[in-house]
A and B are shown apart, each in its own frame.
Chain A
Protein backbone atom coordinates (compact mmCIF):
# COMPACT_ATOMS: atom_id res chain seq x y z
CA UNK A 1 0.00 0.00 0.00
CA UNK A 2 1.26 3.49 -0.81
CA UNK A 3 0.19 4.90 2.53
CA UNK A 4 -1.85 8.04 3.02
CA UNK A 5 -1.49 10.38 0.06
CA UNK A 6 -1.88 14.11 0.31
CA UNK A 7 -1.79 16.80 -2.33
CA UNK A 8 -0.44 19.30 -2.90
CA UNK A 9 2.68 19.01 -0.76
CA UNK A 10 3.18 22.75 -0.76
CA UNK A 11 0.68 25.52 -1.37
CA UNK A 12 1.37 29.23 -1.43
CA UNK A 13 -1.60 31.51 -1.88
CA UNK A 14 -2.70 35.02 -1.21
CA UNK A 15 -5.08 36.09 1.49
CA UNK A 16 -8.69 35.78 0.42
CA UNK A 17 -8.13 32.93 -2.00
CA UNK A 18 -9.76 29.55 -1.74
CA UNK A 19 -7.51 26.63 -0.82
CA UNK A 20 -8.37 22.96 -1.25
CA UNK A 21 -6.29 20.21 0.31
CA UNK A 22 -6.76 16.62 -0.74
CA UNK A 23 -6.28 13.28 0.94
CA UNK A 24 -6.47 9.64 -0.07
CA UNK A 25 -6.54 7.33 2.97
CA UNK A 26 -5.14 3.83 3.16
CA UNK A 27 -7.45 1.37 1.48
CA UNK A 28 -9.66 -0.42 3.97
CA UNK A 29 -9.35 2.19 6.68
CA UNK A 30 -12.68 3.48 7.92
CA UNK A 31 -11.50 6.50 9.90
CA UNK A 32 -10.03 9.66 8.44
CA UNK A 33 -8.63 12.58 10.40
CA UNK A 34 -7.55 16.09 9.47
CA UNK A 35 -4.96 17.82 11.68
CA UNK A 36 -3.20 21.15 11.63
CA UNK A 37 0.30 21.58 13.06
CA UNK A 38 1.96 24.84 14.06
CA UNK A 39 4.87 25.64 16.31
CA UNK A 40 2.62 27.49 18.73
CA UNK A 41 -0.28 25.05 19.01
CA UNK A 42 1.26 21.72 18.06
CA UNK A 43 -0.84 19.06 16.35
CA UNK A 44 -4.54 19.91 16.53
CA UNK A 45 -7.41 17.73 15.41
CA UNK A 46 -9.72 19.61 13.08
CA UNK A 47 -12.29 17.00 12.09
CA UNK A 48 -12.64 13.26 11.70
CA UNK A 49 -14.84 10.94 9.69
CA UNK A 50 -16.03 7.39 10.17
CA UNK A 51 -17.26 5.55 7.09
CA UNK A 52 -17.33 8.88 5.23
CA UNK A 53 -19.56 10.54 7.86
CA UNK A 54 -18.23 13.49 9.87
CA UNK A 55 -18.19 12.52 13.54
CA UNK A 56 -16.60 15.49 15.26
CA UNK A 57 -15.85 18.85 13.69
CA UNK A 58 -15.43 20.76 16.94
CA UNK A 59 -11.80 21.47 16.08
CA UNK A 60 -12.63 23.33 12.88
CA UNK A 61 -11.57 26.87 13.75
CA UNK A 62 -14.14 28.85 11.80
CA UNK A 63 -16.84 28.63 9.19
CA UNK A 64 -14.14 29.38 6.66
CA UNK A 65 -13.05 25.77 7.05
CA UNK A 66 -15.03 22.89 5.61
CA UNK A 67 -14.28 19.23 4.97
CA UNK A 68 -15.94 16.56 2.89
CA UNK A 69 -15.51 12.87 2.31
CA UNK A 70 -17.58 11.92 -0.74
CA UNK A 71 -16.29 8.33 -0.73
CA UNK A 72 -14.02 5.98 1.16
CA UNK A 73 -10.94 6.89 -0.86
CA UNK A 74 -11.05 10.68 -0.96
CA UNK A 75 -11.42 13.66 1.34
CA UNK A 76 -10.95 17.39 0.97
CA UNK A 77 -10.32 20.22 3.40
CA UNK A 78 -11.28 23.62 2.06
CA UNK A 79 -10.46 27.06 3.40
CA UNK A 80 -12.44 29.95 1.93
CA UNK A 81 -11.35 32.70 2.24
CA UNK A 82 -7.84 31.96 3.44
CA UNK A 83 -6.02 34.18 5.92
CA UNK A 84 -2.33 34.45 6.90
CA UNK A 85 -3.06 32.83 10.27
CA UNK A 86 -4.11 29.68 8.43
CA UNK A 87 -0.48 29.11 7.49
CA UNK A 88 0.48 25.72 8.91
CA UNK A 89 1.16 22.12 7.95
CA UNK A 90 -2.05 20.19 7.42
CA UNK A 91 -1.96 16.44 7.92
CA UNK A 92 -4.41 13.78 6.96
CA UNK A 93 -4.37 10.45 8.80
CA UNK A 94 -6.36 7.27 8.56
CA UNK A 95 -6.95 4.29 10.81
CA UNK A 96 -8.89 1.10 11.19
CA UNK A 97 -9.91 0.08 14.67
CA UNK A 98 -10.47 -3.51 13.62
CA UNK A 99 -7.04 -3.86 12.03
CA UNK A 100 -4.83 -1.89 14.38
CA UNK A 101 -6.81 -0.44 17.25
CA UNK A 102 -6.48 3.33 16.99
CA UNK A 103 -3.05 3.55 15.45
CA UNK A 104 -3.12 6.42 13.01
CA UNK A 105 -1.20 6.51 9.75
CA UNK A 106 -0.26 9.98 8.67
CA UNK A 107 0.31 11.40 5.24
CA UNK A 108 3.31 13.60 4.42
CA UNK A 109 1.34 16.78 5.03
CA UNK A 110 0.57 19.90 3.02
CA UNK A 111 2.54 23.00 3.95
CA UNK A 112 0.23 25.96 3.44
CA UNK A 113 1.52 29.50 3.29
CA UNK A 114 -1.00 32.32 3.04
CA UNK A 115 0.56 35.64 2.13
Chain B
Protein backbone atom coordinates (compact mmCIF):
# COMPACT_ATOMS: atom_id res chain seq x y z
CA UNK B 1 0.00 0.00 0.00
CA UNK B 2 1.01 3.60 -0.47
CA UNK B 3 3.19 5.01 2.29
CA UNK B 4 4.21 8.60 2.94
CA UNK B 5 6.97 9.51 5.35
CA UNK B 6 7.64 12.88 6.87
CA UNK B 7 10.09 13.59 9.63
CA UNK B 8 8.07 13.17 12.78
CA UNK B 9 10.55 15.14 14.84
CA UNK B 10 10.00 18.86 15.11
CA UNK B 11 12.31 21.10 13.12
CA UNK B 12 13.67 24.06 15.06
CA UNK B 13 15.43 26.85 13.20
CA UNK B 14 16.40 30.45 13.73
CA UNK B 15 14.49 33.30 12.16
CA UNK B 16 15.91 34.28 8.80
CA UNK B 17 17.25 30.81 8.00
CA UNK B 18 15.88 28.46 5.35
CA UNK B 19 13.70 25.61 6.59
CA UNK B 20 13.75 22.39 4.55
CA UNK B 21 11.13 19.71 5.10
CA UNK B 22 11.17 16.29 3.49
CA UNK B 23 8.42 14.07 2.14
CA UNK B 24 9.23 10.55 0.97
CA UNK B 25 6.80 8.08 -0.52
CA UNK B 26 6.82 4.45 -1.61
CA UNK B 27 4.81 2.00 -3.68
CA UNK B 28 3.28 4.56 -5.95
CA UNK B 29 3.98 7.11 -8.69
CA UNK B 30 1.69 10.06 -8.03
CA UNK B 31 0.61 12.46 -10.74
CA UNK B 32 1.19 15.34 -8.33
CA UNK B 33 2.07 16.20 -4.78
CA UNK B 34 0.63 18.91 -2.55
CA UNK B 35 1.82 20.70 0.57
CA UNK B 36 -0.50 21.99 3.27
CA UNK B 37 0.01 24.03 6.39
CA UNK B 38 -1.86 23.28 9.61
CA UNK B 39 -1.99 25.54 12.64
CA UNK B 40 -3.10 24.25 16.06
CA UNK B 41 -6.87 23.95 16.28
CA UNK B 42 -7.40 24.57 12.59
CA UNK B 43 -7.83 22.61 9.40
CA UNK B 44 -5.02 22.20 6.86
CA UNK B 45 -4.58 25.01 4.36
CA UNK B 46 -3.32 24.39 0.82
CA UNK B 47 0.05 25.93 -0.07
CA UNK B 48 1.48 24.47 -3.27
CA UNK B 49 0.91 21.74 -5.83
CA UNK B 50 3.67 20.28 -8.01
CA UNK B 51 3.08 17.87 -10.86
CA UNK B 52 5.17 14.85 -11.77
CA UNK B 53 6.62 16.59 -14.83
CA UNK B 54 7.69 19.65 -12.82
CA UNK B 55 11.00 19.75 -11.02
CA UNK B 56 10.40 22.88 -9.00
CA UNK B 57 7.61 25.26 -8.02
CA UNK B 58 7.85 28.58 -6.24
CA UNK B 59 5.43 30.86 -4.45
CA UNK B 60 6.83 33.89 -2.66
CA UNK B 61 9.19 32.49 0.02
CA UNK B 62 8.13 28.91 -0.61
CA UNK B 63 9.80 26.45 -2.93
CA UNK B 64 8.91 22.83 -3.62
CA UNK B 65 10.94 20.27 -5.53
CA UNK B 66 9.73 16.91 -6.77
CA UNK B 67 12.11 14.07 -7.64
CA UNK B 68 10.10 11.15 -8.99
CA UNK B 69 13.23 8.99 -9.22
CA UNK B 70 14.03 9.39 -5.55
CA UNK B 71 10.30 9.47 -4.72
CA UNK B 72 10.89 12.56 -2.68
CA UNK B 73 9.68 16.12 -2.36
CA UNK B 74 11.49 18.90 -0.52
CA UNK B 75 9.67 21.93 0.84
CA UNK B 76 11.71 25.04 1.52
CA UNK B 77 10.80 28.22 3.36
CA UNK B 78 13.39 30.93 2.83
CA UNK B 79 13.92 33.84 5.21
CA UNK B 80 11.78 32.02 7.77
CA UNK B 81 9.74 33.97 10.29
CA UNK B 82 8.17 33.00 13.63
CA UNK B 83 4.80 33.22 11.86
CA UNK B 84 5.87 30.26 9.71
CA UNK B 85 5.74 28.04 12.79
CA UNK B 86 3.16 25.35 12.07
CA UNK B 87 2.83 21.73 11.00
CA UNK B 88 3.38 21.07 7.31
CA UNK B 89 1.72 18.12 5.60
CA UNK B 90 2.46 16.61 2.23
CA UNK B 91 -0.26 14.81 0.31
CA UNK B 92 -0.40 12.61 -2.77
CA UNK B 93 -3.23 11.67 -5.07
CA UNK B 94 -4.23 8.15 -4.18
CA UNK B 95 -4.85 6.75 -7.59
CA UNK B 96 -5.30 7.80 -11.16
CA UNK B 97 -8.85 8.93 -11.73
CA UNK B 98 -9.65 9.20 -8.07
CA UNK B 99 -9.79 12.52 -6.34
CA UNK B 100 -8.85 11.57 -2.81
CA UNK B 101 -5.52 12.42 -1.19
CA UNK B 102 -3.30 10.49 1.17
CA UNK B 103 -1.64 12.72 3.75
CA UNK B 104 1.66 12.31 5.52
CA UNK B 105 1.77 12.69 9.28
CA UNK B 106 3.32 16.13 9.02
CA UNK B 107 6.43 17.86 10.32
CA UNK B 108 6.17 20.54 12.96
CA UNK B 109 8.29 23.60 12.26
CA UNK B 110 9.28 26.00 15.02
CA UNK B 111 10.99 29.23 14.02
CA UNK B 112 12.77 30.90 16.88
CA UNK B 113 12.98 34.71 16.93
Contact = CB atoms under 8 A, between A and B. Distances in A.
Interface of A: 4, 31, 33, 42-43, 45, 48, 50, 55-56, 91, 93, 95, 97, 101-109
A69 B42 CA distance: 23
Given A56-B98, A101-B49, A103-B34, A43 B42 contact: no
A109 B89 CA distance: 16
Contact of B100 (A42, A45, A105): A45
Contact of B43 (A48, A55, A95, A107): A107
Contacts of A50: 99
A103 B36 CA distance: 10
B32 interface: yes
Contacts of B41: 108-109
B16 interface: no
Given A42-B103, A56-B98, A106-B45, 4 more contacts: A55-B98, A101-B49, A102-B34, A105-B46
Contacts of B46: 103-105
Interface in B74-113: 89, 93, 98-106
Contacts of A97: 99
Contacts of A109: 41-43
